[in-house]
Chains A and B, each alone.
Chain A
Amino acid sequence: MTLLIGSITIGLILALLALGIFISFRIFNFPDITAEGSFTFGAAITASLIVAGANPAVATLLAFAGGLLAGSTTGLIHTRFKINPLLSGILVMTALYSVNLYVMGKSNVPLLSRNTLFTWFEKFSNIISGKDATVNLIGWSVPARDLWTLIFCLLITVAFSLLLLWFFRTNIGTAMRATGDNDQMIRALGVNTKGMIISGVALSNGFIALAGSMLAQFQGFADVQMGIGMLVWGLASVIIGEALISDNKLGLVIAGAVIGAVLFRLLVAIALRWGMNPNNLKLITAAFVFLALVLPGFMKQTKKIKLPG
């Protein structure tokens, strides 16, 4: 049970990453590689600030701001200098590697005995449920602090998802979505699409940096290499979510990205738990993602066969 709770918690943190990638790849159709740099950037900002004695909540929000900055740089490079989106992402991602080293001052910042958002959650749990308390969940005894951490992560992710949903329904948000769908049409209506792309990519990277910041606090350190592979995982989560939900209502698509991210972590946990040869781990994860993508369509087909006409 602790395993399940732990996996869902990581899934919820990475759901913020999936939301960020969803914004750039799905809403804007902008293949944004900045993600791997801005994920670490968020972690680096938060870790350095916390070590310098800043309030964890402030440090987390500043990581979001840092992500906005990184994303708008990518957007600016693309729109002002007409550089291919992929290449502008690569440029900023590469630059961020050095920036991250400067921000942290070294390649790895430990946060072991520092105050982070997660130590706050633990303190809260100690006050509410008592120190080192365990809760019995259908036969499994679970540390109360794990449960509270999960609840807080859920609250944070849900809050940001709702915020995103609300934002995309405002006038600016609608114009942003339209930019991704049909930029000629929206330009004809007098919207500055360049500005829309810049702010969209900025928002996307803000979410990604936020995920990096949360993960650094969750795992207790920030490392300059922690962004590697994140883009692929985030994209896989978004696509799994889409395949499952297969509906293009905005709220449902956002929910799909979150569900996809959590599902993905659960699948990885199962692959690990079943004790397969560690060398095969990535092969098995790939097979799981493949199944998750194929199964919904397959089930639809079998339904059609049963009910002809």
Chain B
Amino acid sequence: MKSVSRGIIALILVSAILLFSDLQNRSVKKDLYQATGNSVPRGAKFRLCLAHYVDSPNSEACEKGIRKALEDKNLREGVDFTLKVYNAQGDISTLNSIAGIIGNEKRDLIFATSTTTIQLLAKKLPDSKIVFTNVGDPVAAGLGKSFDDHLPNLCGISTMSDFDGLMRLVQFLHPGIKRVGTVFTPVEINSVSFKNRLEEAAKKRGIELIAVPANSATEVLEAANSLVAQRINVFCQISDNLTCSCSSAILKVSLDRKIPYYGFVTNQLQQGAVAVCARDYFQAGYEAGQMGIEVLSGKNPAQIPYRYVEKTDYLIDLETARLFKIHIPDQVFKAFPQLKISKQ
């Protein structure tokens, strides 16, 4: 019995340490943390926090964007607000602990930078105000019935790809284009929904989308070859988990068969994509930051609809375009003011 008591003593000791570090939350006066009024009250010190699921360039860019948005509203860290950053480092049980801690701290506003984080926080903290960003499809993630009719304590920015924008660019560079192709993954819900959206965007411009399914890494190459056999003019590859990690297989087919590749992920430019139309994650963070300020000013999150990030990066690689003998007219930079030349 002596040995069990040692375990129990250790448990009690550690619990006591945890409770001790939690003393400030004992008998909290609730009104202390509630922001009121229609403008951002000066002198009020907002207690904000930010939860990352994993270290990724996208979520880091989002964090920078959120900080910039607060700064642009003349809110200074340490004076007007405190921003506590949590990172689960890719571990779901740690993310659960983080949700517990955030709930305990009764923050004025919480930022979440991934689908996993917002799903967990939405479930665990139904009474906290949360703004999300870097979430592909908030409706598919169960965060609401539509962008307007959603969970009452959430609002945020969706970073779904700009399908229409890419189709517009492709049609501009390849006038008279008939057929574009993509590989998609039937088991990924995002992939199917992205394929359908791309199909819609293409149909609107009189272009036919040929989509070939792939279920595993080895099938991606076969699927890309099968697209070539169906005589597509260009690849317009949607980004899902499987085809994103196997994009080099499709890009190899693109280079071998001289069929230009267009995509939605920036780093595909280095692998041989002609142009990409990628969401700007700094901007996604910036807009989430602005939305957060609205909430802090007293607006009810339930009345703020979810929306897509406004700004999109169009990047083109002239070197690759020359390789595929694509003529890049100067007007393209007028038609797409956001279009930038990618430097390698």
A and B found bound together: yes
List residues of chain A with CB under 8 Å of any chain B CB.
Answer: 1-4, 6-8, 10, 14, 98, 101-102, 105-108, 110-113, 139-141, 215, 218-221, 223, 225-226, 228-230, 233, 241, 244-247, 252, 255-256, 259-260, 262-263, 265-270, 272-275, 278-279, 281-282, 292, 296
28 A-B contact pairs sorted by A residue (CB < 8 Å): A1-B19, A4-B15, A6-B99, A8-B15, A10-B96, A10-B97, A10-B100, A101-B188, A107-B241, A108-B115, A112-B123, A112-B143, A141-B27, A220-B124, A221-B119, A221-B141, A223-B92, A229-B92, A244-B3, A244-B10, A255-B7, A266-B15, A266-B18, A269-B100, A269-B101, A270-B21, A272-B94, A275-B84
Chain B residues closer than 8 Å to A265, beta-carbon distance:
93, 97
**CB-CB < 8 A to A220: which residues of B?**
119-120, 122-124
- Identify 16 new A-B residue pairs, CB closer than 8 A, beyond the known A244-B6, A278-B86: A2-B104, A6-B97, A10-B100, A106-B140, A112-B122, A215-B92, A219-B92, A219-B95, A220-B120, A241-B7, A244-B3, A265-B93, A269-B18, A275-B84, A278-B52, A281-B89
Contact of B21 among A256, A260, A273, A281 (CB under 8 A): A273
SS of A interface (majority): helix
- How far is B123's CA from A156's CA once the two chains are assembled, in angstroms? 22
Most buried by A among B55, B86, B94, B115: B94
- Do B142 and A281 touch (CB < 8 A)? no
Min CB distance, B165 to chain A, in Å? 25
Contact with A110, one of B3, B85, B119 (Cβ below 8 angstroms) = B119
- Find A219's partner among B26, B123, B142, B187 (CB 8 Å cutoff): B123
Contact assessment for A215 and B93 in the assembled complex, using a CB-CB cutoff below 8 Å: yes
Alpha-carbon distance A272/B120, docked complex (angstroms): 17
Which residues on the A side are within 8 Å of B215 (C-beta)? Answer: 98
Decide if B305 is an interface residue (CB 8 Å cutoff): no
Closest to A228 in B: B90
Most buried by A among B85, B96, B189: B96
B152 at interface by CB-CB < 8 Å:
no
Of listed B8, B15, B17, residue having the most chain A CB within 10 A: B15
Q: Nearest chain B CB to A61's CB is how many angstroms away?
A: 22
Closest to B144 in A: A112
Is B14 within 8 A of A270, CB to CB? yes
Question: B97 and A7: CB pair below 8 A?
Answer: yes
Residues from chain B with a CB closer than 8 A to the CB of A247 are 3
| Shortest CB distance A101–B (Å) | 5
Q: Which of A110, A230, A241, A281 contacts B93 (CB 8 A)?
A: A230
Bound CA span A218–B187, Å: 25
B96 / chain A contacts, CB cutoff of 8 Å: 6, 10, 215, 218-219
Known: A101-B188, A106-B189, A223-B92. A272 touches B7 (CB 8 A): no
Complex formed: what's the CA distance from A244 to B103 in Å? 31
Residues of A within 8 A of B120 (CB): 219-221
B3 touches A270 (CB 8 A): no
B221-273 at interface with A (beta carbon < 8 Å):
241
B56 within 8 A of A: no
Q: Which residues of B contact A241 (CB under 8 A)?
A: 7
Q: List 4 tightest A-B contacts by C-beta distance, closest first.
A: A110-B142, A220-B123, A106-B189, A6-B100
Closest to B240 in A: A107
In the assembled complex, which residues on chain A have CB atoms less than 8 Å from the CB atom of B115? 108
Contact in complex: B8, A259 (CB < 8 Å): yes
List residues of chain B with CB within 8 A of the CB of A112.
119, 122-123, 142-143, 151
Given contacts A220-B120, A259-B8, A262-B11, contact A2 B141 (CB under 8 A): no
User: A225: which B residues are within 8 A, CB to CB?
Assistant: 92
Residue of A nearest to B86 (CB): A278
With beta carbons under 8 angstroms apart, the residue of A107, A215, A245 that contacts B4 is: A245
- B84, B94, B124: which contacts A281 (Cβ < 8 A)? B94
**B123-147: contact bitstring with A at CB < 8 Å (1 yes, 0 no)?**
1100000000000000011110000
Tell me which of B94, B142, B188 contacts A107 (CB under 8 A).
B188
Q: Are the CB atoms of A226 and B92 closer together than 8 Å?
A: yes
Q: Which of chain A's residues have a CB closer than 8 A to the CB of B55?
A: 279
CA distance A122 to B216 in the complex (A): 41
Using Cβ atoms and an 8 Å threshold, which residues of chain A touch B10? 244, 259, 263, 292
Q: In the docked arrangement, what's the CA distance between A259 and B123, Å?
A: 27
Give B116 Cβ to nearest chain A Cβ, in Å. 6
Asked if B182 is at the interface (CB within 8 A of a chain A CB), the reply is no
Bound together, the chains give a CA A2 to CA B188 distance in angstroms of: 36
Structural contact, A4 and B190, CB atoms closer than 8 A: no
Question: Using Cβ atoms and an 8 Å threshold, which residues of chain A touch B123?
Answer: 111-112, 219-221
Report yes or no: A7 in contact with B124, Cβ–Cβ below 8 A.
no
Task: Output the residue of B3, B86, B116, B241 with the most chain A CB within 10 A.
Answer: B3
B300 within 8 A of A: no
A105 touching B189, Cβ below 8 Å: yes
CA of A1 to CA of B27, assembled, Å:
11
**A296 vs B10: C-alpha distance in the bound complex, in angstroms?**
10
* Complex alpha-carbon distance, A268 and B17, angstroms: 12
Which residues on A sit within 8 Å (CB–CB) of B8? Answer: 259
Is B85 a contact of A267 with CB atoms below 8 Å? no
> Contact check: which of A3, A101, A110, A259 meets B101 at CB < 8 Å?
A3
Are B26 and A140 in contact, CB atoms less than 8 angstroms apart?
yes
Closest to A110 in B: B142
**Residue from B6, B18, B143 in contact with A270 in the complex, judged by beta carbons closer than 8 Å:** B18
- Closest residue of chain B to A234 (Cβ to Cβ) is B93
Cβ-defined contact, B14 with A263, below 8 A: yes
**Complex alpha-carbon distance, A260 and B215, angstroms:** 40
Interface centre among A140, A241, A262, A279 (most CB of B within 10 A): A140
Checking A215, A260, A268 against B94 with a beta-carbon cut-off of 8 angstroms, the contacting residue is A268
